Structure formats: C-alpha cells, structure tokens
Amino acid sequence: MTGTGCRGYHQAIRRRPFLAAAGAGPLFAVADRQTLAALDSGDGLTDTAVIQYWLNGAASHFETFDPKPDAPADIRGPFKPIATNLPGVRICESLPLHAQMLDKMTIIRSVHHDNNDHQHGMHWCQTGHDAKANGVNPFKKSSHPASGSLVAMLRGSNHPGMPPYVMMGYPLDNQGPHRLYPHRSAYLGVRYNPLEILNKRTGDGKDPGQDQDFYVRSLAPIGNLTRQDLLGRGKLLARFSGLQGGFGQGPARAWNNFYRAASDLVTGDRTGAAFDLEKEDPKTRERYGHNRSGQTALLARRLVESGVTFVTVIDPGVGLSSSGWDLHKKLEWGTKTASPRMDQAVTTLIQDIHERGLDKKVLVVVWGEFGRTPKINKDAGRDHWSGVQSVMLAGGNYRHGQVIGSSTDKGEVPKERPLWPYDVVATMYHHLGIDPHLTPVTPLGRSKPLLEKGAVIPELL
C-alpha cells in the first residue's frame, strides 16, 4: 500500500465487500495484514452514492448554464437568459425548471481542459486523467479506469446484492468507427466494468430519446424461464453443494459465491425489483417524464436507493443515432428538442432525492465532455470547445445555491476560478469517502494514483 497508507485505504474501502472479494479466490486482490488490521479498527463508511448525468456529445454552455446576452448576436445565440431563484443569477431560457430551484444546485462556469475531440474529452471527464499525457491514444483504448470502476473496486456496493457501478444508455464508444470505452475499467479487468442497461427501441426509431422501455441485457431471462424456475434451480444447486465433501472446496466455494450474487441480482426481492420500473408509482413515472431522459433518471434514483454506489446516466440529447448534444447543426432546433426532457428529468431527480431524504447521501453531477464554440457556425450550430464548459452539482451534503467561477464575456475561457475535470472527479471521490490522492494496489498488482492532479472544490464545503 502506497500513498496515504492504511488509514487512507480504510477511508476508501469498507470491510465487508473487501473480505467477501478476498475470500472468493485468486481473481481478487488480497490486502496485507496491516491493511486488514486497519479495516478492522475503524467504523464503516456511510452509504453515499453518485449519479453522474452525462450530456453525451457535449451540451453548449451558452444554451444551458452560462448565457452571454451582452455578446454579439453570432455569439449569444438564439436564446435569451432568464432569472433564477438566486438573486442576480441568470441561466438560459431553455432550462426554466432549473431556474426555479437553482438554490439547490451549484453551477460551475469555469471547468476547462485542452482537447477538442470527443474521445479525449470523455477520457478527461470520465477518468480525471489526460490520456495523451500518458502516451495513450484514446481512440484505441482508455489509459485509466473510469471513476465508477475505481469506486467499484474501492467501495463496492452499498448493499450486498447490488452491483457497485451501473451505466444506462448508449455506451460511450459511439463516436464514429472507434471503440472507445472511457466508462469501463481499463487495466482493472472486466470485474469492475459497469453493469450496462440498454434501452429497448420502440416506435419507428426516429427519436430514441422518446423510448420508454428499458432492460438489463445481462439479466434478461433465457427462453421461457421464470423467476420461480430460477429459484428452484438455486435450491437444487444448494443440495448438490452439500454433497461436495472434500472435492475442490476452494474453487467450488468461489464459483458458488459468484452464482449466489448473480442469482440474487435476478431473483432477489430487493435487488431484482430495483431494476423494474413497473413497480414504481405511475404518478412518479409521469413526473419524471415518459421518455428516456426521465425514465433513466428515475431508474438511477431507484438504484442508488437500493444500494448501487455509482450510476452514470447517458442523456440522449436530440436522440438521433450517436449525436446526443453534439449540435454542429440546427442548434436552436436541437436545444428545443433535448432541453425540455433533460430539464424535467434532472430537476425531478433533485426534488425527489430531497423529498426522500437522500440529498446528503446522493451527489448529482451533470456535465459532458466539453463546451461549445463561442461563435455560431455556418450551419447554425456550435462546434467542439474545450476552452470552457459548465458543470452542475446538487446534493451530496455540499453547500449549494451558488455559482463558482466565470467565463470571459464571450464565453471563450475561464475568467475567474479556473477548474479542471480532475477537480470535479476529486469532489465525487470525496463525497464517497475516498481520498482522491490515494494510490491503491490494483487486482493486477499495479500501483497508480486515483488522480495525478486535482483537489476537492473548497467552495462546496
């Protein structure tokens, strides 16, 4: 163990999931005795969680949280700013519901990085690392695990039967022909990949953002098997397990651990039910919005409430193929299409976690891979712009009702309080009780810091 030592590691991982993993067999990392002693000696972490609401393709900061009404027409764009419930703070008229509850949010207007392509931008924000600084081409692979994968390794889930890390929506590898997986586990191995929830296409497919039905691909039933069939098979397996005697107890025990975890996920009253939106109050489903933005946000709330630690929701934006919020053309149309669904979904999610007393437990982070160009292009859209972007946070027992940082008058670069993606990721780790400067030993024996740079954003504390 390096970096912060045993106490730092204790702050990053709870005893029960760790011991369960360590006892399952050689596929898992085994801590040294000193680390296990440190885990024994302290109290466990609370069941905090993160919902990362990802604006896939990168939403414009001008058309969301950082309008520039005094800039020339080709910069300020087609929308006007509106007042919010924070005196003197205005946001774009495309987000009227956000404006009514900005006192429960923090807007950061000064996050930036240094690369304008989707792959590098996603890698920056999903991992907190600059891929090219490590000599890796993110068009081919990710140089670092996603923050959700590291959370899965260090924290595990908040309930024994639930996965620690879930991603719902299109995988973040859909930019052109490349196979990029910045939301996955890189060198940690597939064990720490997210459980991916895909939407089931309905209608004519012209607007997947309107899809209402979702399924967990890896949990879909096989053939005509029912829940009762699976429970019966589990009982039969338990009888055979009792007859094993001395034959290969170690490997058999490890396999049984995997089987029980998978079976509980499919058939468990708590775990399996968490993924079933049909069990939700119809009025609540209507409140979130009967579209993919709303229903995935609702499912994210159900999952963190049931014990998932880290959820990434991929918002569909305009819902056309992989375009998302990547509005190089028809910015006005795209904003009017995507923003109402996101506005309803995100604000309902924040209201819901407050009403359920989850606002201290659950941190909501809304962002994408970068901002958009200050000038409207010839196709009435905005192009990629890493010079500055806006990020919204809510919940997490942080101080909200504020704007942190600012961009220049034309929205080109940070003007005050410049921040980087690794500062946002460090804050997510902090909320989860993980020291962002920790350097854990991975299951493959590698030792890399969670973040090479970055710090918790102090204005939130």
Residue-level pLDDT, tens digit, the chain, 461 residues: 333 333 333 343 443 333 333 333 333 333 333 333 333 333 344 799 999 999 999 999 999 999 999 999 999 999 999 999 999 999 999 999 999 999 999 999 999 999 999 988 999 999 999 977 766 665 566 778 999 999 999 999 999 889 999 998 765 544 444 445 678 888 888 889 998 886 554 444 455 556 555 555 555 555 555 556 656 666 666 666 655 554 445 555 544 555 555 556 666 666 677 888 888 999 999 999 999 899 999 999 999 999 999 999 999 899 755 578 999 999 999 999 999 999 999 999 999 999 999 999 999 999 999 999 999 999 999 999 999 999 999 999 999 999 999 999 999 999 999 999 999 999 999 999 999 999 988 777 778 899 999 999 999 99
SS3 string, the chain, reads CECCHHHHHHCCCCHHHHHHHHCCCCCCCCCCHHHHHHHHHCCCCCCCEEEEEEECCCCCCCCCCCCCCCCCHHHHCCCCEEECCCCCCEEECCCHHHHCCHHHEEEEEEECCCCCCHHHHHHHHHHCCCHHHHCCCCCCCCCCCCHHHHHHHHCCCCCCCCCCEEEECCCCCCCCCCCCCCCCCHHHCHHHCCEEEEEECCCCCCCHHHCCEEEEHHHCCCCCCCHHHHHHHHHHHHHHHCCCCCCCHHHHHHHHHHHHHHHHHHHCCCHHHHCCHHHCCHHHHHHHCCCHHHHHHHHHHHHHHHCCCEEEEEECCCCCCCCCCCCCCCHHHHHHHHHHHHHHHHHHHHHHHHHCCCCCCEEEEEECCCEECCCCCCCCCCCEECCCEEEEEEECCCCCCEEECEECCCCCCEEECCECHHHHHHHHHHHCCCCCCCECECCCCCECCCCCCCCCCHHHC
